[in-house]
Amino acid sequence: MRKMLFCLMAMMGVLTMTAQSIYDFTVKDDAGKDVSLAEYKGKVLLIVNTATRCGFTPQYKDLEPLYQKYHGQGFEILDFPCNQFGQQAPGTIQEIHSFCTANYDIHFPQFDKIEVNGENAHPLYTWLKAQGGGGDIKWNFTKFLIGRDGKVIKRYESRDQIVTIEADMQMEVNSVLSNMMARRSVRKYLDKPVEHEKLETIALAGINAPSAMNRQNWAIRIIEDQKLLAEVKDMCRNAPNLICVCAPADGRFDLDAGLLGENMMLAAQSLGLGTCIQTGPIRFLTTDEKAKAFRDSLDIPEGFKLLYVISIGYPDEQPEAKPRDSSKVKYIK
């Protein structure tokens, strides 16, 4: 019996270490049936360890409206009662569920009681703690926000405000905001040119960017000719396609051209493509004899300059997000 228990714990440990996302785990529902969390693939999740006799139990009053507000946009709250903190979740899962529905009218799913710390901690929580910064769960109503990719975005402690969580959720639930948050600079691409129709869509998104007095003082050249690209690939991330953005040489409309590029990169992201904006190759592209055929093909309007290029293609890497410094933002009230 002891040997079987040891083997089971070892298997659970291997699962925790090898899991790539939350979808690799199975939990038991309030009826004791196994539920694969893969059923929630593509949804934004808030995972909470709860208790019915805790000072934080009234947080159910905030969680249910949050669930109702965003459930239609692919948001789920997964409730895991836990009796490890002050024995504040007594009773069976059926009794706990009856209490929560009667007192807080919750509609989000509750799962069977689990342990979140110690040697009997559920593998899901062992993984959540490792992905969410490590360290044991401190108390009831600790929360983990999970993105649509099944990975931990952020951990929240019991006293963290729901409004803070909602602000972070918006970046995942709202399709426009989540697309912005998902964009990364991609520097490795598959050897597969982008379909012309997608390039047309991206260009349309670009030219709908705002510009001073709607002058649209820019020129866009999208390179699909693979022979031309072969001449400059080494300088441009070996991308299967390039977008060249030109602006008036006097620099007065560089901002407009920048907004154009941002629109195109976000459109590309939404179509499953990777991009990287580059200014480094500009000197080579505009002066080097080896790039003459490429340069001539651009047919840059008189009085314009090549401002930057965007490498674009199907990504062959998934770069992690780099930290952003929110202290640079100040609100003047």
DSSP string, 115-150: --SSTT--HHHHHHHHHTT-S---STT-EEEE-TTS
- Residue 235 binned pLDDT confidence (cut-offs 50, 70, 90): confident
Class of 196-313 per CATH? alpha beta
This prediction's pTM = 0.75
Cβ–Cβ under 8 Å, residues 254 and 315: no
Domain boundaries, the chain: 2-182, 196-313
Buried b (16+ CB within 10 A) or exposed e, 13-50: eebbeebebbbbbebeebeeeebebeebeebbbbbbbb
Buried b (16+ CB within 10 A) or exposed e, 289-307: eebeebbeebebeeebbbb
Instruction: Give the whole-number percent of the chain exceeding pLDDT 70.
Output: 95
The span from the CA of 11 to the CA of 66, in Å, is 36
Q: How far is CA 116 from CA 44, 90, 261, 281, 282, in A?
A: 21, 15, 46, 52, 54
Residue 8 has pLDDT above 70, yes or no: no
- Predicted pLDDT at 2: 53
Of the ranges 111-120, 128-137, 215-224, which one carries the lowest mean pLDDT score?
128-137
Buried b (16+ CB within 10 A) or exposed e, 148-183: bebebbbbbebeeebeebbebbebbbeeeebeebbb
Closest CA to 54 of 96, 105, 93: 96
Q: Which segments within the chain are labelled E, that is strand?
A: 26-28, 34-36, 44-50, 75-81, 143-146, 152-156, 219-223, 241-248, 274-278, 304-313
> DSSP string spanning 301-312?
PTTEEEEEEEEE
- Predicted pLDDT at 89: 97
The span from the CA of 48 to the CA of 28, in Å, is 15
- Predicted pLDDT at 13: 53
Q: Taking all residues of the chain, what is their mean pLDDT, rounded to a whole number?
A: 93
Write the pLDDT tens digit of every residue in 255-288: 999 999 999 999 999 999 999 999 999 999 999 9
- Predicted pLDDT at 5: 44
Q: Is 211 exposed, middle or buried (0-12, 13-18, 19+ CB in 10 A)?
A: middle
- Predicted pLDDT at 321: 86
Instruction: Give the whole-number percent of the chain exceeding pLDDT 90.
Output: 87
State the sign of the Cα–Cα–Cα–Cα dihedral 280, 286, 291, 293: positive
Residue 120 has pLDDT above 80, yes or no: yes
Higher-confidence residue of 3 and 92: namely 92
Residue 10 has pLDDT above 70, yes or no: no
- Predicted pLDDT at 6: 47
Cβ–Cβ under 8 Å, residues 132 and 152: yes
Residue 231 has pLDDT above 70, yes or no: yes
Write the pLDDT tens digit of every residue in 130-182: 998 879 999 999 999 999 999 999 999 999 999 999 999 999 999 899 899 88
Q: What is the mean pLDDT of residues 290-312?
A: 96
CATH T-level fold of 2-182: Glutaredoxin (3.40.30)
- Predicted pLDDT at 19: 76
Residue 12 has pLDDT above 60, yes or no: no
- Residue 16 binned pLDDT confidence (cut-offs 50, 70, 90): low
Residue 304 has pLDDT above 50, yes or no: yes
- Predicted pLDDT at 14: 52
Q: How far is CA 143 from CA 49, 139, 192, in A?
A: 7, 10, 41
Catalytic choice (7, 54, 244, 246): 54
Tokens of 8: 């089971």
Residue 233 has pLDDT above 90, yes or no: no
Residue 314 has pLDDT above 60, yes or no: yes
7 belongs to the catalytic site: no
The span from the CA of 43 to the CA of 26, in Å, is 16
| DSSP label at residue 271 | T
Q: What is the mean pLDDT of residues 311-322?
A: 94
- Residue 20 binned pLDDT confidence (cut-offs 50, 70, 90): confident
Residue 325 has pLDDT above 90, yes or no: yes
